[in-house]
Amino acid sequence: MEHGLAPDWAVALEASGLGEAMRHSTWLYPAANLLHLLGLVLLAGSMVVLDLRLLGVAAAVPLAALSRFLTPVAAGGLALLLGSGFALFAADAGPLAGNTLLRIKWALIALGIANALLFRWMWTERLAGWDDRAPLAGRVQAALSLAIWFAVAAAGRLIAYY
């Protein structure tokens, strides 16, 4: 628990009941880790399938129906990721708060969420007309989504090493 120049809020979170429980429980940290992995699978799996469909893969699958099915799955995965990620962070918040990769990951998560919300706002009502080919702007957003969420996962994995 090296804190150095950690922000007060991170030191307080690490010293909180949640931080203590995450560090000292035999099962809580591993359970949060597994929930984080489940959230990643639900979010990334849904986003990859939907984004690839937007890019023209599996054109026979109706896009609007696929989006209606996968969007709540992705949202549930994101909720699991955010909740479990917060719990995992609480265990070592002081040192992690200054980790550049974690800050990059947080910025990318915000960017990924903003891209998804913008996509929903701009395009949800028009998806039924995209079964043959999504417009260029929609395809660009899909490609950007794939890149952002891959970068989030990569940054998350690399935090342990840097």
pLDDT, tens digit, 9 for 90 and up, residues 46-62: 999 999 999 999 999 99
Mean pLDDT value across residues 6-24:
96
Residue 93 is predicted with a pLDDT of 96
State mean pLDDT over 115-134.
Answer: 90
Tokens found for residue 82:
């955010």
Query: Which residue, chain included where needed, has tokens 């994101």?
Result: 78
Assess if residue 139 is contained within a domain: yes
**Residues whose CB is less than 8 angstroms from the CB of residue 25 and which lie 6 or more positions away in sequence, other chains included:** none
Would 65 be classed as within a structural domain? yes
- On whether residue 10 sits in a domain, the answer given is no
Asked if the structure places residue 46 within a domain, the reply is: yes
As to burial, measured by CB atoms within 10 angstroms (0-12 exposed, 13-18 middle, 19+ buried), residue 81 is: buried
Q: Tell me, yes or no, whether 120 lies in a domain.
A: yes
How many separate domains does the chain show? 1
Write the pLDDT tens digit of every residue in 43-99.
999 999 999 999 999 999 999 999 999 999 999 999 999 999 999 999 999 999 999
The pTM score is 0.88
Report if residue 4 sits inside a domain: no
Residue 59 falls within a domain, yes or no?
yes
Instruction: Name the average pLDDT for the chain.
Output: 93
Segments forming the whole domain that contains residue 128:
27-161
**Residue 3 predicted with pLDDT over 80:** no
Q: Which of 138, 117, 131, 8 is nearest to 60 (CA)?
A: 131
Which of 28-42, 119-133, 141-155 is least confident? Answer: 119-133
Confidence of residue 2 (pLDDT cuts 50, 70, 90): low
Residue 44 counted as domain residue: yes
